[in-house]
Amino acid sequence: MAITTAKLVLEDGMIFEGLAYGAEGQTLGEIVFATGMTGYQETITDPSYAGQIVVQTAPHIGITGVNTRDEESNRIWVSGYVVREPSRVVSNYRSERSLDEELEENFVVGISGIDTRALTRHIRSRGAMRAGIFSGPRSEQTIERLVEIVREAPEMKGQSLSDIVTTPDAYEVPHLGQFIGRVSILDLGIKRSTIEHMIKRGLVVTVLPALTSLETLLATKPDAVFFSNGPGDPSASAGQIKLLREVLERRIPFFGICFGNQLLGRALGFDTYKLAFGHRGINQPILDRITGRVEVTAHNHGFAVRVPGGEAGELVDSPAGFGKVRVSHVNLNDDCVEGLECVDVPAFSVQYHPEAAAGPHDSSYLFDRLVQMVVSRGEN
């Protein structure tokens, strides 16, 4: 089998040379790194990674292969994939195919055999940026031309990607066990494990497209509304922010994760901003300010909410008129806002991922909090 060379080109002119991995060709996107040592299949099928080239910081990737059960959605969403050393064998009783076969069949262009530690340190120093992977004949263009192609690609800031990753049609997932209530989800790039957490707790789930109107949402008769994770810049989601404000005005219980947290922040009148290189991985320490408990959590976000005065733990006023708000969770690495809780309306959110496949599971209790909100609304 012929060995095909590949080049990873960053917009600042940095070049890494390696070998083609997965499909051959050309791909462009924002380059980010993920620190998880496990869960690579959940990573590449997470819709929040749409438009991004993902670097795995763990040096050895692919030993457990891939299987249909562990997919977080119905396709691979990463724009490109970067690994140091692909596993030469697949060794797991649940495996159905190899990772490189999966990438190739899904036309995901990747690169292997590069110093991912040096690359990650460079991204941490310079920040997330546009990049491209070029293999086969595409890699034979001049370096100047490859850098030019990368710099012509759109930046992540300002992009609205929800309509790309959302479901085209509404659908319902029945509850398991005792019926508790109904939750309507605005699909901004939802992961299957989120739905599984809800239905296991007796919630009937209705999943709606990202551009759903208020009338359509209310027609599902929700006991609670949920905004999912997803890719893109929250400031480019005016329609979803308007819908969320209408939900809050009607005092329908609300829970948001990741992108949903950012949209709650903007609906409350706060600003969002782009992080230098984001949080991506399954080992981020979070402080729950309400309980004082430290949780190890899964993350995948490049934007965050700014709450002036709230970072210190004080109650602040919602600039949009929804009463008092507290920052409920903070990241212990950089003090980034990781959770919001409203005092005067039934709404809360977290920036991280309590559904956390492939783990950790410290924060799954947040789904129990959602259930309690649904039950409380039924009692009132």
Catalytic (active site) residue 355: yes
Q: How far apart are CA 96 and CA 227, in angstroms?
A: 32
Of 175, 279, 301, 353, which is the active-site residue? 353
Of 72, 258, 329, 338, which is the active-site residue? 258
Sign of the alpha-carbon torsion through 10, 11, 15, 20: positive
Burial tier of 236 (Cβ tally within 10 Å: 0-12, 13-18, 19+): middle
Which phi-psi region, left, alpha or beta, contains residue 313 (left: φ > 0; alpha: ψ -120 to 50)?
A: left
Which tokens in the block code for residue 164? 């790309």
3-state class (DSSP) for residue 124: helix
Q: Alpha helices, DSSP H only, in 250-318?
A: 259-267
Q: Rg of the chain over CA atoms, in angstroms?
A: 21
Cis status, amide bond into 347, omega within 30 of 0? no
Which is nearest to 225 in space by CA: 263, 192, 266? 263
Amino acid at 232: G
Q: How far apart are CA 185 and CA 144, in angstroms?
A: 46
Catalytic (active site) residue 353: yes
Of 24, 30, 338, 355, which is the active-site residue? 355
Catalytic (active site) residue 342: no
Cα 334 to Cα 35, 45, 156, 328: the distances in Å are 16, 27, 22, 15
Cβ-contact 64, 95 below 8 angstroms: yes
Q: Alpha helices, DSSP H only, in 310-364?
A: none
Which tokens in the block code for residue 45? 């099928």
Q: Return the H-helix or E-strand segment holding 109.
A: strand 109-112
Residues carrying an active site annotation? 258, 353, 355
